[in-house]
């Protein structure tokens, strides 16, 4: 395999040759050049400036984006329709040159907050309410193949584009051959504050159970925010490596704008759309893991047979089916849930598939599916209204979604769970629990502690 600097020299030479002769720079819209590169290590480099990373170890797939060739923001009830219109305009004027016939294409990042409009003072996060982000440089590796995608707005001059892209390659390529950063010695983490605290949690859960007993709600998801301080600045490369190692079946995400990084290791897809097919994860009903095989198996069996957890899971399955019924000709859902096993928790899981009516895209699907009862509650509107009144903090992008959009407006989105906002040596961690009839406040608190442990464990080694 060529060394990174040899690859850099080859890419720069090909870039000069292509850009000098590219008449497409005289058009209007966007131009992407796609070049083959060797497969990358499992973690994309952390560079300066805005960037996003999506890593799924079990699928052997990584996508990353650096800088911005174009950005579109939206807020309010029509935020996804607004971004859909921008994505359609982008697709109509986006020329892609796959110089090495890699089969890869350029892609954009779509992400949005839990709610369509913030109702309280903004947190320190610089993330907009909803964002469609076309990176200037993108990396995509999958099943032993890799490509780099360079994108620019046009019209532009060849000299300007060549200088900018060459600078990006010089910044990025030297890091591509480096192995994953190993873990540091575990460092202590100090709990600074939590919202709600244990007493406030008890009150919120009891209030939710009262609403459920009155039939106002069937389920509602209450969240927690835990603020931590470390003894050193958190190393994002090591944090991503730790999360990828600890949770290889999860989508590990890093979104960075300004000094804020939003990091997640989420087990839950909102959707994966390929052509006219879509697959959705119904994930609800949780149990802890145990240190020995017999105990762990007993917890799994108890989860499978728990009336409370099965009821919670059925609410999510039915909500997903009802949402997909509005845009599908056929829906396939398993009769019984599987159990998804993670290092720190296990969940009831039903992958639901559907065949879509023509014209359905990732934006329409996201609007129908988000928020599911797994992160909000049921009925949806009543749960949203109650949570707006009682949530002790603004959720921001926690329980929102993020993922990639392809040029044909299909793509994949993941629910932002098991996540943290990280700035220097501080981190705000988020987790929640679904409250249904029969929920016990103390048991639900322990469930959130199990979920928080995913990020807590990784942060100790970063």
* Active-site residue set: 219, 268
- Pairing relationship of beta strands 108-112 and 130-134 according to DSSP bridges: antiparallel
- Taking CA atoms, 90 is separated from 95, 96, 203, 347, 379, in Å, by 10, 12, 48, 38, 36
Residue 181 is classified by DSSP as P
CB contact at 8 A, 309 and 340: no
Torsion sign (Cα): 44, 46, 50, 52: positive
Give the helix/strand (H/E) hosting 431.
strand 426-435
The span from the CA of 407 to the CA of 107, in Å, is 6
Chain centroid offset of residue 315 CA: 23
The span from the CA of 124 to the CA of 396, in Å, is 10
Which region, left, alpha or beta, applies to residue 306 given φ > 0 means left and ψ of -120 to 50 means alpha? beta
> What does the chain come to in residues?
462
Q: Can you spell out the DSSP letters for 47-102?
A: -SSSEEEEEETTTTEEEEEES-SEEEEE-STTHHHHHHHHHHHHHHTEEEEETT--
Strand, coil or helix: 116? coil
Strand, coil or helix: 109? strand
In angstroms, the first-to-last Cα distance of the chain is 30
- Taking CA atoms, 462 is separated from 181, 257, 410, 451, 453, in Å, by 10, 20, 35, 18, 14
Classify residue 214 by burial, with Cβ atoms within 10 Å: 0-12, 13-18, 19+: exposed
The span from the CA of 32 to the CA of 149, in Å, is 6
> Residue 420's closest CA among 227, 269, 247?
227
The span from the CA of 306 to the CA of 73, in Å, is 43
Q: 126-148: b or e for each residue (b if 16 or more CB lie within 10 Å)?
A: ebbbbbbbbbbbbbbbbeeebbb
Strand, coil or helix: 30? strand
Those residues whose C-beta lies under 8 Å from the C-beta of residue 17, and which sit 6 or more positions away, are none
């Amino acid at each position: 395999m060529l060394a990174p600097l040899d690859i850099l020299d080859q890419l720069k030479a090909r870039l000069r040759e292509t850009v000098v002769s590219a008449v497409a720079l005289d058009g209007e819209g966007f131009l992407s050049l796609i070049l083959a590169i060797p497969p990358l290590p499992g973690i994309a480099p952390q560079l300066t400036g805005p960037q996003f990373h999506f890593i799924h170890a079990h699928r052997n797939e990584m996508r990353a984006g650096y800088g911005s060739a174009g950005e579109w923001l939206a807020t309010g009830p029509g935020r996804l329709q607004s971004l859909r219109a921008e994505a359609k305009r982008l697709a109509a004027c986006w020329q892609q040159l796959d110089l090495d016939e890699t089969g890869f294409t350029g892609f954009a990042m779509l992400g949005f907050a839990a709610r369509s409009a913030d109702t309280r003072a903004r947190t320190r996060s610089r993330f907009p309410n909803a964002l469609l982000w076309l990176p200037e440089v993108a990396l995509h590796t999958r099943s032993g193949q890799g490509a780099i995608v360079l994108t620019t707005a046009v019209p532009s001059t060849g000299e300007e584009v060549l200088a900018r892209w060459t600078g990006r390659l010089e910044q990025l390529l030297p890091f591509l051959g480096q192995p994953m950063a190993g873990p540091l010695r575990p460092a202590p983490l100090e709990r600074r504050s939590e919202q709600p605290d244990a007493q406030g949690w008890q009150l919120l859960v009891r209030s939710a159970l009262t609403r459920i007993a009155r039939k106002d709600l069937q389920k509602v998801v209450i969240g927690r925010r835990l603020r931590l301080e470390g003894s050193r600045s958190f190393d994002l490369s090591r944090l991503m490596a730790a999360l990828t190692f600890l949770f290889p079946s999860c989508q590990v995400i890093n979104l960075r704008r300004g000094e804020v990084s939003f990091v997640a290791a989420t087990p839950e897809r909102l959707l994966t759309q390929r052509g006219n097919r879509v697959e959705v994860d119904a994930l609800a009903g949780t149990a802890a893991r145990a240190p020995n095989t017999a105990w762990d198996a007993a917890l799994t069996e108890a989860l499978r047979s728990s009336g409370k957890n099965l009821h919670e899971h059925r609410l999510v399955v039915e909500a997903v089916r009802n949402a997909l019924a509005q845009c599908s000709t056929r829906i396939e859902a398993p009769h019984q849930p599987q159990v998804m096993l993670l290092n720190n928790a296990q969940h009831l899981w039903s992958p639901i598939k559907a065949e879509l009516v023509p014209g359905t895209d990732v934006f329409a699907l996201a609007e129908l599916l988000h928020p599911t009862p797994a992160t909000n509650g049921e009925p949806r509107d009543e749960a949203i209204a109650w949570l707006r009144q009682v949530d002790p903090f603004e959720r921001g992008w926690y329980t929102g979604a993020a993922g990639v959009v392809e040029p044909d407006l299909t793509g994949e989105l993941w629910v932002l769970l098991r996540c943290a906002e990280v700035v220097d040596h501080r981190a705000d961690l988020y987790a929640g629990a679904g409250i249904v009839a029969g929920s016990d406040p103390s048991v639900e608190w322990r469930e959130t502690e199990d979920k928080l442990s995913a990020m807590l464990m990784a942060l100790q080694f970063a």
